[in-house]
Chain A
Amino acid sequence: MENSTANNVVIKIDNVSYDYRSSSDEFIARGVKNVSLSIGKGEFCVLLGRNGSGKSTLAKLLNGFIVPDSGTITVNGIDTSVDESIYEIRSKVGMVFQNPDNQMVASIIEDDLAFGPENLGIPRDEIEKRITWALETVGMSEHRKRSPNKLSGGQKQRVAIASVLSMLPEILILDESTAMLDPKGRAEVMETAMRLNKEKGMTVILITHYMDEAVGADKVFVLSEGELIGEGTPREIFSNVELVKRAYLELPVASKISLELKESGYDIPFALTDEELAEGICKLK
């Protein structure tokens, strides 16, 4: 027994390093280096970092696609490097990827949702219940018997989330799942992820390049060149000018404006959200 479960820690990454190597064991690129972090049950975490900083590598490590060169990762107390528990981990850690088209296997939505549980050998009646539940959760029930091809990007991505939910994961990883969507689709997916987190207590790990999606997070992790260089609440992270510069992060729009106003001589506090910004501006004399 790990004491991690007692503290409600679902993911524990302990000093993990991973390098990409060719089949002849030559070094290709650094994935992550000496990363340690832990994520509590029901937390909404956001992973930030510029391209190639190791975000997807970390996600793949959490799902057991790759195993650490050194260090350990435990999910619910289970070590991801143990071969026998790999499918237990994959069913507990649901992964949604960037391109919704490339993660659906079936031409009918309900068949796609059935794919995961079928692979796990779940009985038919139970699969039926899960499909109904998952489609309801993402608000796509009326599309159950339709083809995913005619849906909008946001709808497709919601179906992709539902297809993962049907395995009843405890952790949901969204690896740039909003990157290909228009603003409306992005809002739909974010709303779904938020709701899963708030209402179902799902632990969510969101990887994104849109800083505005990080504002509502419980915790933000910042990666740079494979190393974890920052960890904290969105306010702590974005108000840390040094860190923001080092990780080449953009700032949320409200923060950017508040800082620019301050630079031009206005006495305005750091703002994370539009509401805070509005309040700050109203208080100006």
Chain B
Amino acid sequence: MREVSFGQYYPSGSKVHALDARVKLLLTIAFIVMVFLVKSLYAYIAVAAFILLVTLVSRVPVLKVLKSIKAIIFIVIIMSLINLFANAEGKVLWSWWILTISEGGIITAINLALRLIFLVMGTSLLTYTTTPMELTDGMESLMYPLKLIKVPTHDIAIIMSIALRFIPILMEEVDKIMMAQKARGACFDRGGVLKRAKALLPVLIPLFVSAFRRADELALALDARCYNATPNRTKYKQAKLGWGDLVATLVTGVFITLVVAVNNNFWGLY
């Protein structure tokens, strides 16, 4: 089976795991916003230190968090390359034909790469320490204002939860179908872009057929288990705010202030 390391819950029973999912969601959003504001090297070091701290407290193996980068490494490389050549500010360091690398380009490329990497590490820490159910319940709870204007927040939450559950199952299926097509002589890694895209068609069609069949059965299973039986649905896992949530919010808040200060060279470090 394909290792789907990004986003798979990693139970370790740590303090971070015990935090309220809503708090974790909001803190993660704050973290993401902050990462996109950061531009100084010192601030990046601070962000990295914070991620390391959270990783250690959450007792998720550091290697696992690092591995989550693997899923986006191509996007990172491509985006960085585009930025490397697109930005021509500052001293020109190297130039050939229409390609130029300048100081400004290098800086934006590094910035972008670091931001994407921290972004993925941050969000994967969220999913490593929060079960999909908690996550979707948390989102449902945060979407509460929408419920007042008759948005079916609970259905949305169930859809998200099911989607999260089926991602690894469908990925495994893609592997199986590809293997079956390869056994019949299909070739996915040769030829031009068009040829490769064409080779994927015999994978996509069975995948869709199977996904629809699954959806059909799933709908039946949801009904069989009394989905929508009562508007007064109960919650097995009731999220309650605790002291840990306060501490986590404070720590993150202090840290964000710190990063913003460093970022704006508040203390004149550089």
B34 → A minimal CB distance (Å): 29
Give the residue among A94, A107, A122, A167 with the most B Cβ atoms within 10 A: A107
- From A30-38, A68-76, A98-106, A212-220, the one touching the partner chain is A98-106
A147 near B8 with CB under 8 A, answer yes
Q: Does B94 contact A (CB under 8 A)?
A: no
Could you tell me the distance between the alpha carbons of A170 and B229 in the complex, rounded to whole angstroms?
A: 18
B164 near A107 with CB under 8 A, answer yes
Closest residue of B by beta carbon distance from A91? B226
A-facing residues in B150-209 (Cβ within 8 Å): 158, 161-162, 164-165, 168-169
A124 → B minimal CB distance (Å): 6
B226 near A119 with CB under 8 A, answer yes
Query: Beta-carbon contacts of A125-154 to B below 8 Å, as 1s and 0s?
Result: 001100100000000000001110100000
Within the complex, which residue of B168, B225, B230 is in contact with A115, where a contact is CB–CB below 8 Å? B225
Within the complex, which residue of B165, B168, B217, B229 is in contact with A87, where a contact is CB–CB below 8 Å? B229
Within the complex, which residue of A65, A108, A122 is in contact with B223, where a contact is CB–CB below 8 Å? A65
Given contacts A63-B224, A147-B9, contact A123 B234 (CB under 8 A): yes
Given contacts A103-B221, A107-B133, A108-B131, contact A121 B165 (CB under 8 A): no
Closest residue of B by beta carbon distance from A147? B9
Could you tell me the distance between the alpha carbons of A97 and B223 in the complex, rounded to whole angstroms?
A: 12
A129 → B minimal CB distance (Å): 11
Q: What residues on B are CB-neighbors of A164 within 8 Å?
A: 224-225
A174 → B minimal CB distance (Å): 12
Within the complex, which residue of A106, A128, A167 is in contact with B161, where a contact is CB–CB below 8 Å? A106
Q: Does B214 contact A (CB under 8 A)?
A: yes
Chain B interface: which size bin? 20 to 34
Q: Does B236 contact A (CB under 8 A)?
A: yes
A257 → B minimal CB distance (Å): 37
Could you tell me the distance between the alpha carbons of A149 and B173 in the complex, rounded to whole angstroms?
A: 13
A-facing residues in B1-17 (Cβ within 8 Å): 8-9, 11
Query: Beta-carbon contacts of B114-131 to A below 8 Å, as 1s and 0s?
Result: 000000000000000001
B133 → A minimal CB distance (Å): 4
Given contacts A121-B233, A121-B234, contact A105 B162 (CB under 8 A): yes
Could you tell me the distance between the alpha carbons of A123 and B230 in the complex, rounded to whole angstroms?
A: 13
Q: What residues on B are CB-neighbors of A65 within 8 Å?
A: 220, 223-224
Q: Does A116 contact B (CB under 8 A)?
A: yes
Give the residue among A110, A116, A118, A145 with the most B Cβ atoms within 10 A: A118
Q: What residues on B are CB-neighbors of A110 within 8 Å?
A: 236
A121 near B232 with CB under 8 A, answer yes
Q: What residues on A are CB-neighbors of B221 within 8 Å?
A: 95, 97, 102-105
Q: Does A111 contact B (CB under 8 A)?
A: yes
Could you tell me the distance between the alpha carbons of A111 and B131 in the complex, rounded to whole angstroms?
A: 10
Q: Does B132 contact A (CB under 8 A)?
A: yes
Within the complex, which residue of B9, B165, B229, B238 is in contact with A105, where a contact is CB–CB below 8 Å? B165
Given contacts A111-B237, A118-B235, A118-B236, contact A102 B226 (CB under 8 A): no
Q: What residues on A are CB-neighbors of B98 within 8 Å?
A: none
Q: Does A258 contact B (CB under 8 A)?
A: no
Q: What residues on B are CB-neighbors of A226 within 8 Å?
A: none
Could you tell me the distance between the alpha carbons of A99 and B230 in the complex, rounded to whole angstroms?
A: 27
Given contacts A65-B223, A87-B229, A116-B225, contact A103 B235 (CB under 8 A): no
Q: Does A120 contact B (CB under 8 A)?
A: yes
Q: Does A163 contact B (CB under 8 A)?
A: yes
Could you tell me the distance between the alpha carbons of A127 and B9 in the complex, rounded to whole angstroms?
A: 23
Given contacts A108-B9, A108-B133, A147-B9, contact A120 B230 (CB under 8 A): yes
B225 near A121 with CB under 8 A, answer no
Q: What residues on A are CB-neighbors of B11 within 8 Å?
A: 145-146
Q: Does B45 contact A (CB under 8 A)?
A: no
Q: What residues on A are CB-neighbors of B36 within 8 Å?
A: none
B214 near A101 with CB under 8 A, answer yes
Q: List 28 A-B contacts (CB under 8 A).
A: A65-B220, A65-B223, A65-B224, A87-B226, A90-B229, A97-B217, A97-B221, A98-B217, A101-B214, A103-B218, A104-B165, A105-B225, A106-B132, A106-B165, A107-B132, A107-B161, A108-B9, A118-B235, A120-B226, A121-B229, A121-B233, A123-B234, A124-B236, A124-B238, A149-B168, A163-B225, A164-B225, A167-B226
By a beta-carbon cutoff of 8 Å, the part of chain A in contact with chain B is 63, 65, 87, 90-91, 94-95, 97-99, 101-108, 110-111, 114-124, 127-128, 131, 145-147, 149, 163-164, 167
By a beta-carbon cutoff of 8 Å, the part of chain B in contact with chain A is 8-9, 11, 131-133, 158, 161-162, 164-165, 168-169, 214, 217-218, 220-230, 232-238
